[in-house]
Structure 1
């Protein structure tokens, strides 16, 4: 009875789940068999209190200011990519606004239902581009496959496409316009009611990289 036990419910995106959270938590569950973990994959924003979650995982810039937030991963960035076949008879975009002339693979936001507006930044200049194209997904993973098969330009987390870029299957575009940003945080409303099981999960996810000095934000 002295071992942490109970259920921890977390809402998070598919990319956070597969690239970061599951690899970190899988061994924890083997070590703590009395902890039950419910991971709800949702690429929109959920009200974790109203919807009955113990915590959410989102990018640092998306976390509400009244939440306690703990960094769980490094900075990362999005990259615009396309296959060599797609680019063979089309001009390379040199500026984000030129993307409107291309067939872009869109991402549907669960919250609000609109398309994700691609965000870029260079030398302090921020730019948002509303792209258009034949395909729309609500997950990053099929977008990778669509880009590989020449269906257009996709805007994706770098870790999902780095291997394909290195192998020449995809070409990175507009890299100077894609600086890193704050990575994933786990956030929750109050630390006063945290169970031992919840503390185990947070501690296992906590990021210990170079940017960990800014890893926790109190409400």
Structure 2
């Protein structure tokens, strides 16, 4: 038969009073230590003895001693109570200052282009906080999986989350290597993708994502095919760099390879806009200081990140106009 190990309400009442009397062998000194009257100490211990079902103390007019039951109770209760006090102090410390383990779930692609600078500066500013980054393309339930916050593209964030913008909106760009585009005729229209090898992304729910475009004011989704299916952007981008085919990725992820001449954007007039990257976290009335410190840190640096990204977009737009 399953046993019930739930601690009943009030089971710990009187334990601190008993431990203090056992230490001092005096109701008066125990009362002074705890800041109550000797009468209150006596009542608390009588109630404890009633719940335990045995006398714990031997009281005379001259001294206070322990019964055998009291000795055994002291042996087990003292270390347990000290652990409870220590646990309370640790929890109180975490609730009063930024400290402890901060767990973040992020896509692997954003770590080198966005998160490394934020984490490095945060760790220097808050040395008592340990940061754990779990890089994964999966859309996890951050509360159920024990994460404090996450970083994701805005379109993948649930409506009940609080989101802090990290980047401006950006296009989803189709890119291919110069070698691949020499072997295949460069696509000029969306329908031209039928003749191309297209690298695809498998979503966390198991489905393969279509490619998204805009044609005038109309949103268009296209089912493509190709030699590689991946579940993260860096793998798909790497396949494109190696000439396996075309890939559709957020522009910031491809920017380094494009600048280095390893990839070339195509179908740019049809590129849809993605909402950008956000830090998100549950709405909590009692937020731990470590998370509050990280959010404030991100907000204090998000303006410079946004301005830098916006400057790159303006520079690219000006070059295209020329």
Q: TM-score, normalization: structure 1?
A: 0.86
Partner of 1:215: none
Tell me the alpha carbon deviations over residues 141-182 of structure 1, each in whole angstroms, 9 at most, x when there is no partner.
233332222111111222233343344432211111114322
Cα shift at 1:63: 1.5
1:172 to 247, 255, 265: 265
Partner of 1:134: 227
Partner of 1:76: 170
Equivalenced residue count is 211
| CA distance 1:195–1:113, change in 2 (3 Å) | same
Partner of 1:216: none
| CA distance 1:53–1:208, change in 2 (3 Å) | same
Partner of 1:208: 303
Partner of 1:162: 255
Tell me the alpha carbon deviations over residues 63-119 of structure 1, each in whole angstroms, 9 at most, x when there is no partner.
21111111122222221111222122322222223213211112222x212222211
**Hey, what's the Cα distance between the residues in 2 that align with 1:169 and 1:18?**
18
Structure 2: runs of 5 or more not aligned: 1-94, 308-322
| CA distance 1:167–1:47, change in 2 (3 Å) | closer
2:150 to 53, 56, 67: 56
| CA distance 1:64–1:55, change in 2 (3 Å) | same
Structure 1 or 2, whichever has the larger Rg, is 2
**Hey, what's the Cα distance between the residues in 2 that align with 1:203 and 1:92?**
46
| CA distance 1:100–1:209, change in 2 (3 Å) | farther
Q: Secondary structure at the match of 1:68?
A: strand
**Hey, what's the Cα distance between the residues in 1 that align with 2:131 and 2:262?**
37
Cα shift at 1:16: 2.4
Bigger drift between 157-166 and 167-176 goes to 157-166
**Hey, what's the Cα distance between the residues in 2 that align with 1:193 and 1:2?**
11
Q: Secondary structure at the match of 1:126?
A: strand
**Hey, what's the Cα distance between the residues in 1 that align with 2:234 and 2:96?**
41
Partner of 1:41: 135
Partner of 1:13: 107
**1:194 and 2:287 correspond:** yes
Q: Secondary structure at the match of 1:81?
A: strand
Please say if residues 106 and 135 of structure 1, whose CA atoms lie closer than 8 Å, have aligned partners that are also in contact.
Answer: yes
Q: TM-score, normalization: structure 2?
A: 0.60
Please say if residues 8 and 38 of structure 1, whose CA atoms lie closer than 8 Å, have aligned partners that are also in contact.
Answer: yes
Please say if residues 25 and 201 of structure 1, whose CA atoms lie closer than 8 Å, have aligned partners that are also in contact.
Answer: no
**Hey, what's the Cα distance between the residues in 1 that align with 2:279 and 2:255?**
25
Please say if residues 96 and 289 of structure 2, whose CA atoms lie closer than 8 Å, have aligned partners that are also in contact.
Answer: no
**Hey, what's the Cα distance between the residues in 2 that align with 1:185 and 1:55?**
10
Q: RCO greater where, 1 or 2, for CA within 8 Å and sep 6 or more?
A: 1
| CA distance 1:64–1:92, change in 2 (3 Å) | same
Structure 1: runs of 5 or more not aligned: 213-219
**Hey, what's the Cα distance between the residues in 2 that align with 1:181 and 1:13?**
15
Partner of 1:94: 188
Cα shift at 1:211: 7.1
